[in-house]
Structure 1
């Protein structure tokens, strides 16, 4: 409609030009030019974004004035993963990209380059060189070398779920006794010959299962709930009282499972109508009021995790355990993902806003978990200790993800 109006106006001006003086003609042309420019400017103005759904993470609808230098040229086609669809976007869509302290994520990226995904191996020499670069230099390199893709479910839904995990720090003893009665087991004899292996309840009660685990205890804990937390997190740091009274610190890392399905103890409590707070603080509060039902709660999750002991050098202590990618996790910059949505080793832009924390940052897809399933799904590695545990126990909020793939 607007272009038709512009065309009719310019034709009328041309026909009338032979009937007016040169001075009036010049003035009329100036007026008409101004009208045309104003109309074109109105045509090029982006429409106002539609109101976001409550709780949705705001994302710029067009690059506009926030376009990153060097982010030009046509966008590539969409990419399809087994469980997700990646839609190419401009860097301006990534909320907070201009403000992130990228050097914090660079340590995680360099760790990822110890076992890079094939697509990223050619970039690793440049990643290492940029470890001492400024954030602006790192940002410019990312814009030049990587293409952001918005991660969506196959039905086009770009919103998902963010949770968190951590490395608990637990007191332990090398030998049972003095209140230390809950074993942390290594792999049982003949593991893998029988799948699935015994359930958690059977491991605790059947002589056949206990015989296979004879002599396999790495250490002993005091609290069965701490043991469950260790199993759910998949690794932990133990401060172990040795037989000679010395206290050593070691990491116990995931070694395998009994291949039974994972069931959430929080979901079990909700289904029982026992609580409305299925966070770990809520679960502990319920157990404090119902200690006689501890085994019933624990046995509701048939999955059992076996561990291996790893030394914890001062350098190792600065990082988390090795994730599924095979590299140590970096607190605040490593995430667990569904590998059928995002391959291990992929840099990812994460945006989440909720009651526990708001974050917009570069992270690395370096781990997975049995409960981490879906296109837009991430488990955020918070680190270790009580503060990380508090965050991990409560974080459950909306999420958006952008995979950053080599151009």
Structure 2
């Protein structure tokens, strides 16, 4: 049994010490399952399922395109599997910000949004945020896409995508290009560690306000997050569509989540139950990733574009649980032992 558990941990991408514990559930055990809009989830699933390469997923994608009843499709061809690794469940939110910007520095808009440098290493860590910003390592290389507010650039990098509206009215859409492979750290947690705020007080707006009120200490605070993100222009995506996720397809507000792909297959349906101000009982699709999204019970909910979506995303930090929906044989193969009928 111990050897089986170790093999399972490796298959799921978990460390050998992790308590990999897959559990088969029945659909009736998913709180709120019957009341969800399964057709909306099916539409989001179809956005990326054609890119899945494994035969079982390809077969299911073909069936999905002809499904007349979305709920029946998921119940007939999938089994719910909950995987736990010993860590508490955590659901956060993200969104696509829209920033004011300029093609040249103009006072407030002084922070360059950089394209991916051609000498960025593919594996090892590169320059830190402080080295890039304070040292000006990328100046004069023609990598600037636009200029924005320095604080808003920081939050743009956390989200990984966004839009920049220029004075002319032109909108530049930005997608994730690459990162410097330095470790990500939460500046909200840093403010708590310094005794400036209590954990329940921290939000994106609170952080923005503090950094603006304390420009010198604020800049140093941002530098404690050594991670730095580079962007690419993705203006071929129509404005009414969501930004591109990790599968290079548009993601869907309130139906797409970012997951740890070493545990949750990208493209898989995932049932989430969250407890918080925005209480979710909803079938989502795993279509994105994030540097801070690690673990079997960790997900980032995509809320959409703009300020309202940003406010909802910023206040989301909820407990709950998430349950993968996997093709039937794939689900059975990953169980540590033969289980009784989950019904």
TM-score (norm 2): 0.85
Match of 1:94 in 2: 30
Match of 1:358 in 2: 279
Q: 1:139 to 1:194 in 2, by over 3 A?
A: closer
Deviations 1:267-304 (A, max 9, x none): 11111111222211221232243233221111111111
Give 1:328's match in structure 2, choosing from 250, 259, 270: 250
Q: 1:387 to 1:112 in 2, by over 3 A?
A: same
Cα deviation for residue 388 of structure 1 reads 0.7
Match of 1:228 in 2: 154
- Would you say 1:82 and 2:13 are equivalent positions? yes
Cα deviation for residue 116 of structure 1 reads 1.9
Aligned-residue CA RMSD (Å): 2.0
Cα deviation for residue 194 of structure 1 reads 8.6
Deviations 1:166-210 (A, max 9, x none): 110101111222432111000124122793221111112225x13
- Structure 1 runs (4+) deviating above 3 angstroms are none
For structure 2, the 5+ residue unaligned runs are 1-7, 15-19, 329-343
Q: Distance in 2 between the 1:224 and 1:233 partners?
A: 15
Q: Distance in 1 between the 2:322 and 2:309 partners?
A: 22
Match of 2:61 in 1: 124
Higher gyration radius (CA)? 1
For structure 1, the 5+ residue unaligned runs are 1-77
Deviations 1:149-168 (A, max 9, x none): 12222x5x7x5110011110
Give 2:125's match in structure 1, choosing from 196, 205, 209: 196
8 Å CA contact 1:161, 1:397 repeated in 2: yes
Give 1:214's match in structure 2, choosing from 121, 128, 141: 141
Match of 2:335 in 1: none
Q: Distance in 2 between the 1:117 and 1:394 partners?
A: 36
Q: 1:308 to 1:335 in 2, by over 3 A?
A: same
TM-score (norm 1): 0.72
